[in-house]
Amino acid sequence: MWFSKFFKKENKIKIPSDVNLGFWVNVKKPAIVLAPMADVTDCAFREVIAKYGKPDAIWTEFVSADGIFRGGFEHLKYDLMFGNREKPIIAQFFTSNPEYMERAARLAKEMGFDGIDINMGCPDRSIEKQGCGSAMIKTPEIAKEIIRSAIKGADGLPVSVKTRLGYNKDILEEWLPELLSAGPAVVTVHARTRKDMSKVPARWERVKRAVEIRDELKSKTLIFGNGDVATPEEAFRLSKETGADGVMIGRGIFGTPWLCQDLDKRKESFLNGKEYIFNEKTLEEKLRIAVEHTKLFEEKLGGMKSFAIMKKHFKAYANNFDGAKELRLKLFETENAQQIADVIEDFLKNKK
């Protein structure tokens, strides 16, 4: 492969003697963070998560830096909305244009974000056609330039990268040092290749190898792992096994925005070798949170995003209890938040 030849021609990788970790310095390890997910982690869902089970840090959905500065800001600004409850919050951008990356990072700083993340792992074809997402793995020189531009524009905020093990094959040993040489605060390794998509189990032994590579190069960059993590306890275990500084949870948050409730206490218990017992949400509490989530979506994004986006959430909220299937079908037929509230209220009355 041409990029393998490129890596072989490279001189010895030079690693910065220090990196700007920003707020990450004050986050107790292992950090448990929320993954950026398109049409999922919007401002409404993030607000509910922050209220009922806040992780150590929250990512926005990914946002096109090119789109912002080519006339799309009025639409894309909704993807960058956030409330103080969500902090620390990180704005994720994608672009293959260093100038736009620098400007986007500067904008994020002005808007009050706590960090900037660069998407170098999305497998969506439309994103890759722009030279972004996973396609950046093929262009390490551009990837490094993008990171450096983000650091310049961020003006003191920590800059992180979310990526994969490789494109068609695992090239972690070549790819990760290139990223580390640009001095990001964090590299989150989704433990699959672009070719793997999500069709195979995440290879967490490769996250362990990423930590080893970081240590061998004496880099100060934090390494987070990502892939197939359902609970904070599983994240704690994987962090211990791999040495990762943090773990990013994605699909595990569906239908359970309270997933990280009492996170600090649970983390402390794990570190002390104890089990933390917390109060599980009742079915009524869970469904009322679903109503709250829906109302927030309508209030904040009703004029900008289709209500149909909420259906993936309804599928997750109405799951694993008697009558869940029937409730889901009724929820799928609704068109607004009030109808959702009515359907759930009727369901709860009939349950009593």
- Of 271, 294, 319, the domain-final residue: 271
pLDDT score of 335: 95
Residue 257 pLDDT exceeds 90: yes
Beta-bridged to residue 249, according to DSSP, are 34
Residue 13 pLDDT exceeds 70: yes
At 197-208, the pLDDT tens digits run: 988 999 999 999
Share of the chain above pLDDT 90, in %: 91
Q: How far is CA 102 from CA 73, 123, 153, in A?
A: 16, 23, 4
Q: For residue 87, with 0-12 CB atoms within 10 Å meaning exposed, 13-18 middle and 19 or more buried, which class applies?
A: middle
Residue 289 pLDDT exceeds 80: yes
Q: What is the mean pLDDT of residues 203-230?
A: 98
**Do 100 and 124 fall into the same domain?**
yes
Q: Answer for the pair 116, 142: CB distance below 8 angstroms, yes or no.
A: no
**Do 246 and 322 fall into the same domain?**
no
- Give the confidence band of 4 by pLDDT, cuts at 50, 70, 90: very low
User: Which of the following is catalytic: 43, 122, 132, 260?
Assistant: 122
- Of 229, 247, 271, the domain-final residue: 271
**Do 332 and 227 fall into the same domain?**
no
In a domain, 312, yes or no: yes
Q: Answer for the pair 207, 172: CB distance below 8 angstroms, yes or no.
A: no
**Do 237 and 153 fall into the same domain?**
yes
174-199: buried (b, 16+ CB within 10 Å) or exposed (e) per residue? bbbbbbbbbbbbbbbbbbbbbbbeee
The rounded distance, in Å, linking the Cα atoms of 203 and 207 is 7
In a domain, 76, yes or no: yes
Which tokens in the block code for residue 63? 């946002």
In a domain, 71, yes or no: yes
**Other C-beta atoms within 10 Å of 34: how many?**
30
The rounded distance, in Å, linking the Cα atoms of 231 and 258 is 11
- Give the confidence band of 72 by pLDDT, cuts at 50, 70, 90: confident
**Do 153 and 191 fall into the same domain?**
yes
**Do 127 and 98 fall into the same domain?**
yes
Q: What is the CATH number of the domain that holds 178?
A: 3.20.20.70
pLDDT score of 303: 85
Residue 85 pLDDT exceeds 60: yes
How many alpha carbons fall within 13 Å on the CB side of residue 91? 30
Angle between helices 140-154 and 98-111 (to 10 degrees): 30
Share of the chain above pLDDT 70, in %: 97
**Do 267 and 297 fall into the same domain?**
no
- Split into its structural domains, the chain has a count of 2
Which tokens in the block code for residue 344? 């759930």
**Do 242 and 304 fall into the same domain?**
no
In a domain, 276, yes or no: no
- Give the confidence band of 258 by pLDDT, cuts at 50, 70, 90: very high
Cα-Cα-Cα-Cα dihedral sign, residues 141, 190, 92, 237: negative
In a domain, 206, yes or no: yes
Q: Answer for the pair 125, 149: CB distance below 8 angstroms, yes or no.
A: no
**Do 67 and 165 fall into the same domain?**
yes
Instruction: Look up residue 170 and give its amino acid.
Output: D
In a domain, 277, yes or no: no
Residue 7 pLDDT exceeds 70: no
Residue 287 structural domain: 283-351
- Of 239, 271, 303, the domain-final residue: 271
Verify whether residue 122 is a known catalytic residue: yes
In the three-class reduction of DSSP (H, G, I as helix; E, B as strand; rest coil), residue 142 is classed as: helix
Beta-bridged to residue 62, according to DSSP, are 92
Q: 129-143, 199-213, 223-237, 271-285: which has the minimum mean pLDDT? A: 271-285
Residue 294 pLDDT exceeds 60: yes
The rounded distance, in Å, linking the Cα atoms of 331 and 170 is 42
Residue 230 pLDDT exceeds 50: yes
**Do 143 and 291 fall into the same domain?**
no
Residue 310 pLDDT exceeds 90: yes
Q: What is the mean pLDDT of residues 331-342?
A: 97
At 152-174, the pLDDT tens digits run: 999 999 999 999 999 999 999 99
Distance of CA 192 to the CA centre of its chain: 15
Average model confidence (pLDDT) across the chain: 94
In a domain, 108, yes or no: yes
Residue position matching structure tokens 């996170």: 263
Q: What is the pairing mode between strands 186-190 and 89-94? A: unpaired
**Do 263 and 118 fall into the same domain?**
yes
The rounded distance, in Å, linking the Cα atoms of 88 and 85 is 8
In a domain, 278, yes or no: no
**Do 123 and 40 fall into the same domain?**
yes
Strands (E), 215-321: 222-226, 246-249
